[in-house]
Chain A
């Protein structure tokens, strides 16, 4: 403590022949080597007790049992080039990557016509280009971006993937055949005149009706809805000269992503509506919402798909035979919406009552209160759970292979039966490849949700 003034004062000074006085603290000895460093860490963490030692040894044995063979199979012993099964027949070979290379197109596009695959690529690229800036939280223009991704992108993707030109010909009034006798089946630029005259008449009629009822807000809502719907149908109705591709020809990762993205885009608004309905003070609306939610949550997705495939056509007017993929999409959307509704409800319940009361005190209407005050906060709170729902949705897309829609996993299964590639390792290679793809998607989403959770968490810390 006392800094000695003169040199050599720190030395042990002999006061007399028998007494020593220490002027300075002795330096601490280094800790025993067995308690620090790698050895100390291992003693503390790996071998602290007999049970722990056994666990460590068993664990290391397990790692050694799993990792080296896996690496050897996937990389070291793997076959990288070849044209058919001959390359992978030698005993002791690892993964047969030429098989994946040969079947890659099938895994991604299914039976989509090869000369039309560029359309799928454009859809993929466009989706990635719109999604990436949406995911980076700090980038500006989120509203426009979200509008493009959730509003415009699905319309364009639909045109590109199916070929558009849906031949819209029957609308509400058409069922009563009011206009067809006047115009016949005339088409102008590929558009059915009867249909469009019908559509415009209906839109104007509905808007005028609402105006006469002195409900200006309603009139505006009707006009906006009819306009948006009209633009979408028009876009789908125009013949862009694309070769039509039936959904039966779709497959692979394309179908997986179409189901996942459509499920997400359609189920989120539906889920929010259902959550609001379940929290509503109106007893009938609440009851209907509860029945809807609990019904879909109580049954497995497979039965929902069976329902959509076998039962739904019976409920629709005779003669209408909706597309197989569309039926599955409807089932998946209903199913996911019910789960999302519960997630969103959790967020709504977490918003303190003061927020509702504050909004009402400001004189906001119910719609404004929800849109501007409650939902932004509630949805932010449950982003991680929403992403989790989407991860389950992504995993659940595999189930469509049971109703004969060949998604990624379905194509994989189909590829196993190809005699050109029948070898002892084909099966394992396919599973390894598919496993890696699914894992990357799901793991990526879960990491992203954790990142968002951490980023948004800071706002709640005081």
Chain B
């Protein structure tokens, strides 16, 4: 509207074209674009000059060179003779592992603490509030270092390790857990597990439809548990226990057998999930508080039990408020997993932007790839969460 008025006035009264908003906006945009292009061109020119001076060859060929360094945690086979490309993959998988485990744990703790902050129980409320205020006001890197240096490194050595049920061992070398060994026929068990999940999903949607129609659904919790856990169990028994566990045993100064979860992973995941949980708790609290009291009262007067009220009335409405900030927290956790480099957990940044960069000097390529990966992870996470958000969003008539 302003533009239109300005143009007319400009044309009529014959003022200088400098005061014409349309001309101004075009000039401004051209100037901005030219500035960006010139700056970019200068950067590229400088980079080319500098790289030539330092005799660094550009390009992604280095990814096929032998990396020559070891990595303490590898989810895929990797050795010192593997390539930088392989090291990149190992780092990426380690990052994703921390992100996924951290997100799951943070969500659980966050929801519990968030509900605890609204509890009628004074002690529970006090504890939850203290948890949130303390954890969210300390820097995440500080917390990671605290868990790593002050808690996990202070655990006794392998010989005096703390044992849980004689199966899991806690020591300053990490957590040793039994290693599952998949024997003949474990594929069938896995198949049964998948079938159980599929059946549960189908049955619950059918049950929901039936409840909409007749008011009577199936006790899905028990059926679901039976299908997802019971069915694979039966198959396993029928197949004669193909899944066995290799128990860790203390031999000399260290453990033999079992799988070792490195302390860096434990410290990082623990610190990040408890830190992020404090923020999730606040989101959950504000989400629940955003559901008006009338909703709960109406549900009670319809005769719903408190547990059903919470599950069918309050939580679905609260989730609409909780999901968008929750997405942000998930993204933050994923990005914060890069703090791993502070304690030497071999994540993407430590392995690739750290060791590989130092060895090859390919700063531009490596940092571009690393940033690109995080951008991609951000986009994937937010796309998934946005899709979920759309599904549960209020359908306005």
Chain A residues with CB under 8 Å of chain B are 44-46, 48, 52, 55-56, 59-60, 62-63, 213-215, 281-285, 288, 295, 297-303, 306-307, 310-311, 313-318, 357, 360, 366, 391, 394-399, 401-402, 409, 413, 416, 427-428, 431, 434-435, 438-439, 442-443, 446
A311-B363, A395-B138, A431-B146 given; 18 more Cβ-contact pairs under 8 Å: A48-B120, A52-B121, A56-B123, A56-B124, A281-B25, A282-B29, A288-B33, A302-B349, A302-B353, A306-B353, A318-B50, A318-B53, A401-B342, A409-B141, A416-B149, A431-B149, A438-B142, A443-B137
Task: List, in ascending order, chain A residues with CB within 8 A of B2's CB.
Answer: 360, 366
Instruction: Pull 5 A–B residue pairs with CB atoms less than 8 Å apart, ordered by A.
Output: A46-B123, A56-B123, A213-B18, A300-B336, A398-B141
* Contact assessment for B139 and A438 in the assembled complex, using a CB-CB cutoff below 8 Å: yes
* Contact assessment for A45 and B367 in the assembled complex, using a CB-CB cutoff below 8 Å: no
B214 within 8 Å of A (CB atoms): no
Task: List, in ascending order, chain A residues with CB within 8 A of B378's CB.
Answer: 297-299
What does the 1/0 interface line of B103-131 toward A look like (CB < 8 Å)?
Answer: 00000000000000001111110110000
Nearest residue, chain A, Cβ from B30 = A284
* Contact assessment for B28 and A310 in the assembled complex, using a CB-CB cutoff below 8 Å: no
* Contact assessment for B127 and A62 in the assembled complex, using a CB-CB cutoff below 8 Å: yes
Task: List, in ascending order, chain A residues with CB within 8 A of B3's CB.
Answer: 281
Q: Report the 9 A-B pairs with minimum CB-CB distance, sorted nearest first.
A: A59-B123, A442-B137, A300-B335, A395-B139, A284-B29, A300-B338, A315-B43, A310-B363, A298-B375
* Contact assessment for A314 and B139 in the assembled complex, using a CB-CB cutoff below 8 Å: no
B51 within 8 Å of A (CB atoms): yes
* Contact assessment for A306 and B367 in the assembled complex, using a CB-CB cutoff below 8 Å: yes
Choice from A282, A303, A416, A443 contacting B353 with Cβ under 8 Å? A303
- Bound Cα distance from A366 to B1, whole angstroms: 13
* Contact assessment for A315 and B341 in the assembled complex, using a CB-CB cutoff below 8 Å: no
Among A44, A298, A439, A442: residue with most chain B CB under 10 A: A298
Task: List, in ascending order, chain B residues with CB within 8 A of A281's CB.
Answer: 3, 25
Task: List, in ascending order, chain A residues with CB within 8 A of B237's CB.
Answer: none
* Contact assessment for A59 and B141 in the assembled complex, using a CB-CB cutoff below 8 Å: no
Choice from A46, A300, A391, A398 contacting B121 with Cβ under 8 Å? A46
Q: A48-B120, A60-B123, A300-B335 are in contact. Are A306 and B349 (CB under 8 A)?
A: yes
Q: Interface residue tally of chain B, by bracket?
A: 35 or more
Majority SS at the chain B contact face: helix
Between A and B, how many residue pairs show CB distances below 8 Å?
160
B134 within 8 Å of A (CB atoms): yes
Kindly provide the distance from the CB of A399 to the nearest chain B CB, expressed in whole angstroms.
Answer: 6
Choice from B25, B51, B150, B375 contacting A299 with Cβ under 8 Å? B375
Kindly provide the distance from the CB of B275 to the nearest chain A CB, expressed in whole angstroms.
Answer: 10
Task: List, in ascending order, chain B residues with CB within 8 A of A301's CB.
Answer: 335
* Contact assessment for A46 and B127 in the assembled complex, using a CB-CB cutoff below 8 Å: no
- Bound Cα distance from A67 to B119, whole angstroms: 22
Kindly provide the distance from the CB of B57 to the nearest chain A CB, expressed in whole angstroms.
Answer: 14
* Contact assessment for A299 and B371 in the assembled complex, using a CB-CB cutoff below 8 Å: yes
* Contact assessment for B150 and A427 in the assembled complex, using a CB-CB cutoff below 8 Å: yes
Kindly provide the distance from the CB of A308 to the nearest chain B CB, expressed in whole angstroms.
Answer: 10
Task: List, in ascending order, chain A residues with CB within 8 A of B357's CB.
Answer: 306, 310
* Contact assessment for B364 and A314 in the assembled complex, using a CB-CB cutoff below 8 Å: yes
B67 within 8 Å of A (CB atoms): no
* Contact assessment for A306 and B370 in the assembled complex, using a CB-CB cutoff below 8 Å: yes
- Bound Cα distance from A435 to B51, whole angstroms: 43
- Bound Cα distance from A337 to B316, whole angstroms: 35
* Contact assessment for A56 and B121 in the assembled complex, using a CB-CB cutoff below 8 Å: yes
Task: List, in ascending order, chain B residues with CB within 8 A of A60's CB.
Answer: 123
Q: A295-B375, A303-B370, A303-B374 are in contact. Are A439 and B29 (CB under 8 A)?
A: no
B359 within 8 Å of A (CB atoms): no
B49 within 8 Å of A (CB atoms): yes
Nearest residue, chain B, Cβ from A357 = B1
Kindly provide the distance from the CB of A160 to the nearest chain B CB, expressed in whole angstroms.
Answer: 27
Kindly provide the distance from the CB of B26 to the nearest chain A CB, expressed in whole angstroms.
Answer: 8
Choice from B123, B138, B371 contacting A435 with Cβ under 8 Å? B138
Kindly provide the distance from the CB of B360 to the nearest chain A CB, expressed in whole angstroms.
Answer: 11
- Bound Cα distance from A430 to B231, whole angstroms: 53
* Contact assessment for A302 and B367 in the assembled complex, using a CB-CB cutoff below 8 Å: no
Among A285, A300, A427, A435: residue with most chain B CB under 10 A: A300
- Bound Cα distance from A15 to B146, whole angstroms: 85
Kindly provide the distance from the CB of A351 to the nearest chain B CB, expressed in whole angstroms.
Answer: 16
Task: List, in ascending order, chain B residues with CB within 8 A of A399's CB.
Answer: 141, 339
- Bound Cα distance from A60 to B46, whole angstroms: 64
Nearest residue, chain B, Cβ from A313 = B50
- Bound Cα distance from A246 to B226, whole angstroms: 68
Choice from B127, B136, B146, B371 contacting A303 with Cβ under 8 Å? B371
